[in-house]
Amino acid sequence: MIDTKQKILDTAERLIGDQGYAATSLRHIIAEAGVNLAAVNYHFGSKEDLLDELILRKAAGVNQERLALLDRLEEEAAGAAIPVGKVLTAFFDPMMEAGSRNPQFVKLMGRMYAEGLLPGVVSKHFQPTLIRFVQALRRSLPTLPEAELFSRLQFMIGAMSHAVCASRTVPAAVIPADGVPDFRQTMRWLVVFLTGGLQAPPTPEVP
Amino acid sequence: MIDTKQKILDTAERLIGDQGYAATSLRHIIAEAGVNLAAVNYHFGSKEDLLDELILRKAAGVNQERLALLDRLEEEAAGAAIPVGKVLTAFFDPMMEAGSRNPQFVKLMGRMYAEGLLPGVVSKHFQPTLIRFVQALRRSLPTLPEAELFSRLQFMIGAMSHAVCASRTVPAAVIPADGVPDFRQTMRWLVVFLTGGLQAPPTPEVP
DNA sequence: GTCTATACTGAGATAGAC
DNA sequence: GTCTATCTCAGTATAGAC
């Protein structure tokens, strides 16, 4: 059948989103999809390549939107520095939208993060977009030394990745009684937090 | 031999630090340690329990120091709020020290993070310490609504975890030419970044 | 109590028939 | 393109020697 590939993709997306990548065996996927085990390796090469296809068909649209928003900001600024908050909003809004429209996407990215697969996924599918935003932030924060800016971007990526998936790291004792806030709210809070962190004064040198 | 257990622990620490947890098979560990496969399950129960022992013997001292520093800060403050930066420094200094004395510890924690094992490790070995620091930060940031403070702590943990391991997430194109900064420097920058983020004004409500 | 040898189950990958 | 059969390697469990 020609849609064996599609059936594998759809089933894998659902199962990996629900159970995680490592916990979802190819044998489980092919059983639910009603196809043969070897079909996975025939169509995708390996379990990891199957995952790449899953991410790709979700991430492409988000990154396009991000770049379009950044293009518009740079056009409006006409060479001047863009405020940090605006750059960050251009980066987070498309993800927020995608997350609201299709929770499965956020779920999948959260799983990737939780299993330590995000660095690989990021460098494969988000690298060009990241470079553009890094350059924009460099212009927005001209007083910050290069090396410290680089570190702060690392911190930013860490906070962002962690925020995407509802984590159980912070002990239950300190979780507010009104439950976990929704995704859009978390993203708004994240932008404010990151703006504060990125705009902090440069760290004084120690002797 | 009585030190079979020690040999397993030492070899596992080295191999897992170098290659990661998932990539290091028990068979590889026992081959290098020169012991039998079943000795692992005899002494530790499972691969995961072996990892727990590794973390435990490294983390206990760090957490004790952290709590001692926080105790002193609270004593000095005599009931008043402690500045955010001081609380963070009390949290990070012991890790910095441990990292400088014994790079293997940081390496191991970085691996845990990279493989998505950190949440489990944290809730097992760092939970009591975290609770104390969360309470202190709550008093240091009285104007911040509870829910947003909680989210910011999540962001903080994300940034911190990510910073501990030299990650390859940010594209090589933007890495400064002078290479990766040392661990102590990164921690100092992290404290400044987090202080800025935690002290940002509360996010305005949207209708 | 410790340790060895060996067997068991389930994973991903692959060669070759159709 | 698809499927069967098989391979290698993982973590785990058990039986029994010292």
Token output for B174: 């933007």
CB contact under 8 Å between A158 and B153, yes or no, is no
Cα–Cα distance measured from residue A96 to residue A83, given in angstroms and rounded to the nearest whole number: 20
Q: Does B148 touch chain A (CB under 8 A)?
A: yes
Per-residue pLDDT in tens (0 to 9) along chain A, 207 residues? 668 999 999 999 999 998 999 999 999 999 999 999 999 999 999 999 999 999 998 899 999 999 999 999 999 999 899 999 999 999 999 988 888 888 887 888 888 888 888 878 888 888 889 999 999 999 999 999 989 998 999 999 889 888 876 555 565 556 665 666 788 899 999 999 999 999 999 999 876
Largest CA distance in chain B: 69
To test the contact with chain A by mutation, choose from B146, B149, B154, B186 the residue with the greatest count of A C-beta atoms within 10 A, namely B154
Could you check: is the Cβ of residue A27 within 7 Å of any atom of nucleic acid strand C?
yes
Token output for B132: 């104390």
> How many Å lie between the alpha carbon of A151 and the closest alpha carbon of chain B?
7
Largest CA distance in chain A: 69
Q: Is A80 exposed, middle or buried (0-12, 13-18, 19+ CB in 10 A)?
A: exposed
Instruction: Report chain B's C-alpha Rg in angstroms.
Output: 20
B49-108 per-position pLDDT tens digit: 999 999 998 899 999 999 999 999 999 999 899 999 999 999 999 988 998 888 888 888
CB contact under 8 Å between B171 and A130, yes or no, is yes
Q: Which single residue is written with the structure tokens 């031999």?
A: B1
> How many Å lie between the alpha carbon of B193 and the closest alpha carbon of chain A?
4
Total Cβ atoms within 10 A of residue A60? 11
Pick from B155, B175, B192: CB nearest A193: B155
Instruction: Find the closest chain A residue to B114 by CA distance.
Output: A116
Helices B37-44, B47-77: crossing angle, 10 deg rounding:
40
Of A94, A69, A84, A62, the closest CA to residue A194 belongs to A84
